[in-house]
Chains A and B, each alone.
Chain A
Amino acid sequence: EVQLVESGGGLVQPGGSLRLSCVGSGFTFSSHWMSWVRQASGKGLEWVANVKEDGSEKYYVESVKGRFTISRDNAKNSMYLQMNSLTAGDTAVYYCARGQSRPSCSGGICNNWFDRWGQGTRVTVSS
């Protein structure tokens, strides 16, 4: 059974940092694009970032560029999101999501849907 488990959320002050983790199991982690998608309370979904199967390509939504860094460690079946300079606008539940398996594809167009999701980890930015 495919499972994605996020961790690392919590309460942080504005301007602070947080590192989220996602561990995958039940599938070949290294064969799939992986993404972070967030959802503020009572609001819709917002794609945040994704990373190619081998970590060689990374893409971000404009609002987090320069502040967030996505990475992965395929040996540990894990993906990470380093979040710096956090603001109240980053408050949300952050989901880890599995994308396509397209190792020969290059570019953001290679991953545009997500077929498995974790249960999410809540990030609250407040003083």
Chain B
Amino acid sequence: QSALTQPASVSGSPGQSITISCTGTSSDVGAYSLVSWYQQHPDKAPKLLIFDVTIRPSGVPDRFSGSKSGNTASLTISGLQAEDEANYYCSSYTTVNTVVVFGGGTKVTVL
């Protein structure tokens, strides 16, 4: 069982917006603004989309945005595109048994 809880799947039509939630605890997501999001296409390495809750690395489209409220972080993809179909993982710094914990991943399907 992953330390952070994500929905198994989310879907949307091209052009729509979708939001992926990532629920942790007061030992990780709730305690620190150190949530990151990664995109992984099949058989590819993960790619960093968001770090420190809201910051996009250079080159990441502004269609991707992050937020946090309490123990839950969220990734919003606006203007969904076919290329956004992938698995998405959240992660957070934690003080319980490890340093970084990941969510179980969310498969995004573009209808």
Contacts and interface: CB of A to CB of B under 8 A. Distances in A.
Interface of A: 35, 37, 44-47, 50, 59-62, 95, 108-109, 111-115, 117-120
B24 interface: no
Given A45-B38, A45-B105, A112 B48 contact: no
A117 B40 CA distance: 11
14 contacts: A37-B46, A45-B89, A47-B98, A59-B99, A61-B97, A61-B99, A62-B97, A95-B46, A109-B99, A112-B99, A113-B34, A113-B91, A115-B48, A117-B46
Contacts of A119: 45
Contacts, number: 69
Nearest to B104: A44
At the interface, is chain A mostly helix, strand, loop or mixed? mixed
A108 B92 CA distance: 12
Interface string B52-83: 10000100000000000000000000000000
A119 B93 CA distance: 24
Contacts of A108: 93, 99
B45 A50 contact: no
A44 B103 contact: yes
A109 B45 CA distance: 23
